[in-house]
Amino acid sequence: MGHVRSGTLFLVLFISGLFLNAKSSYWDDREKFIRKEKSRELGADLVLNEKEEKVNEILMNYKLRELDEGMLNPAGYLPAQHFFHSKKAMDKSKVFNLIQKLPKGASLHSHDTGIASEEFLLSLTHKENLYGCERGQNFLLKFFKDNSSLDNSCQWKSLKKMRAQRKDFEEFLRGKLSLVVADPMVKYPDLNSVWRAFINLFRNVGNMIGYKPVFQEYFYQVLKELHEDNVMYMEMRGLLPEVYDLDGKIYSPEEVVGLYVETLEHFKHDYPSFYGAKLIYAPSRHVDNSTVDNYLKILKNIQKLYPDFIAGFDLVGQEDLGKPLSEFIPQLLEIKDQTKFFFHAGETNWEGETDLNLIDAVLLNTTRIGHGYAILKHPEVYRAAKKNRIAIEVSPISNQVLKLVDDLRNHPAAILVADGYPVVICCDDPSFWGAKGLSYDWYYAFMSFGSRDSDLKLLKQLAINSIAYSSLDLVDNSDLLTKWQLSWNTFIDDVLKEHGVMYSKPRSIVDV
């Protein structure tokens, strides 16, 4: 019996030992699994220094507070709300305030006449010589020398007069300069309708911005607002629109590029810490083959004239309704080796038509992909793009306002970030959704594309990505990165100072 008992006891001990092992090995396995998974996230490779760790604590304190509030009241969680409703609260968010101050590196995807803030656009409407004209849903704005030189394209009226005559003029004007409305879900029931309104905005402001002095003032302001938002460098998509002066001169595309370069030099002179800007020539995709032939001629000319300023080529406009890249393959192949491509591709909810642009973009060796919203529905494109380190330019607010996604936690970029895909955060057309600079998009990205414990490393990586995936050559790239690193260090110090964290290296025990 004694023998049996001790045998039984041994068996019991052995089995419970096994079981305890099973349990502890479960937690070990789980820990390892989670670590392995987290190591794939964008920014996971970065190591924060002690000061950064302290800033991270401050940041995460704020972030977790906002997340916890969101879990209690999901309807109040900002990334689950339409930007037109969330912006006011965002302005007050501590996370947002930190992001505003953070050196964000580069702005890589925005469109020439949709970038400066709405308030600046409104200020332009007080200029002398500005005329307005209602045409259907549009309210066109244009400068003329005087009443006698008005063109016949529209029934122009002096804006000064309209302003004096119409009581609700400011409100009316606001409605013509941005998409912002009280109930965007009702006003814009689908993607096509919001795009119609969106395109109208470009038409409304196009001729106002096209007036030469305003054109340069506008571009200057674009740079200024980015600079103030702690962005150091910009790559802007530009149509090269018609620019005019009051004497009837129309500037050629080549001259328009010249105006940009002149303004940029002026701005860099005024703000030497701003690194610079480049232009991606990006005319409309709603055109025929011979128009594209003409685009390519212009591209060659401006590349020759301003080799350092021209980053590459793209085609723009609503992808679902515009021409696909496949329409222009011979022309695009022809210039493939003389220019970089930055194609818009996959900015759609549909699968199996518009989104084939993703395949052409990758086959044409695009440098980055604009939006790329549909890329995950194309596993082979994803594989190829990841292998070739083709960054995706994600514009959260744009995708929300232009009706691809409501709750940003459903944005495919959350999956890209979790998988360490090179993402850059962009602002597209902040002008038209009442945003300004890059920070609003960064806030949305930080609060919806990362996990609960995604932290300063993610933000730092997004900044680094924006430089690493820019079209700068190696020398300039490393130069900008160095300058950005200095700003970053200053930012870290500033946050610590502002939060009263006296930074001193922990003294070693030996010192005591």
Contacts with its own copies by CB under 8 A lie at 19, 22-23, 26-27, 29-30, 33-34, 36-37, 40, 67, 71, 73-75, 80, 185, 189-193, 320, 326, 329-330, 333-334, 349-353, 356, 359-360, 363, 376-381, 403-407, 409-410, 412, 414-415, 418-419, 450-454
Shortest distance, position 236 Cβ to its own copies, whole Å? 29
Which of 41, 217, 347, 393 is flagged as catalytic?
347
φ/ψ (deg, to 5) at 469 = -100, 15
| 371 in catalytic set | yes
Query: Which DSSP letter does residue 284 get?
Result: B
d(CA 251, CA 258): 10
Cβ neighbour number for residue 33 with a 10 Å cutoff = 10
What is the distance in angstroms between the CA of the first residue and the CA of the last residue of the chain? Answer: 64
Tell the smallest beta-carbon distance from residue 349 to its own copies (Å). Answer: 4
Using the minimum distance from each CB to its own copies, give the nearer residue, 195 or 215: 195
The smaller minimum CB distance to its own copies, of residues 2 and 352, is found at 352
Distance of CA 157 to the CA centre of its chain: 37
- Coil, helix or strand at residue 391: strand
Give the separation between CA 143 and CA 161, rounded to whole angstroms: 14
In whole angstroms, the minimum distance from the beta carbon of 13 to its own copies comes to 17
| 3-state class (DSSP) for residue 135 | strand
What are φ and ψ of residue 275, in 5° steps? -80, -35
Nearer to its own copies, 142 or 403 (CB): 403
Least Å from the CB of residue 363 to its own copies:
6
Nearer Cβ to its own copies (224/286): 286
State the CB neighbour count (10 A cutoff) for residue 123: 13
Q: How far is CA 319 from the centre of its chain?
A: 18
User: What is the closest distance, in whole angstroms, from the C-beta atom of residue 419 to its own copies in the complex?
Assistant: 5
CB of residue 417 vs its own copies: minimum separation in angstroms? 9
Q: Which is nearer to its own copies, 75 or 510 (CB)?
A: 75
In angstroms, what is the C-alpha Rg of the chain? Answer: 27
**Helix or strand (DSSP H, E) at 251:** strand 250-251
Residue 500 zone, left/alpha/beta (φ > 0; ψ -120 to 50; rest): left
Q: Indicate the residue among 154 and 363 with the shorter CB distance to its own copies.
A: 363
Between the alpha carbon of residue 108 and those of residues 111, 368, 391, 430, the distances in Å are: 10, 10, 10, 13
SS3 for 341?
A: strand
Is 126 one of the annotated active-site residues of the chain?
no
The vertex-197 CA angle with 196 and 203, nearest 5°, equals 90
Separation between Cα atoms, residue 439 and residue 423, nearest integer Å: 16
Residue 45 burial (CB count, 10 A): 11
- Residue 134 three-state SS: strand
Shortest separation between residue 322's beta carbon and its own copies, angstroms: 13
The Cα–Cα gap between 261 and 279 comes to 10
Catalytic residue among 371, 378, 393, 411: 371
Residues in the chain: 512
Q: 186 vs 475, which CB is nearer to its own copies?
A: 186
- Amino acid type, 365: N
Residues 311, 317, 322, 324, Cα dihedral to 10°: 30
Q: Which two tokens stand for residue 487?
A: 């700003």
Instruction: Kindly tell me which of 57 and 320 has the beta carbon lying closer to its own copies.
Output: 320
CB of 334 to its own copies, least distance (A): 8
d(CA 256, CA 281): 11
364, 343 Cβ separation under 8 angstroms: yes
- What is the token pair recorded at 249? 């001169």
**Residue with smaller CB distance to its own copies, 104 or 378:** 378
DSSP β-bridge partners for residue 157: 132
CB of residue 65 to its own copies, shortest distance in Å = 15
List, by residue number, the catalytic residues: 347, 371
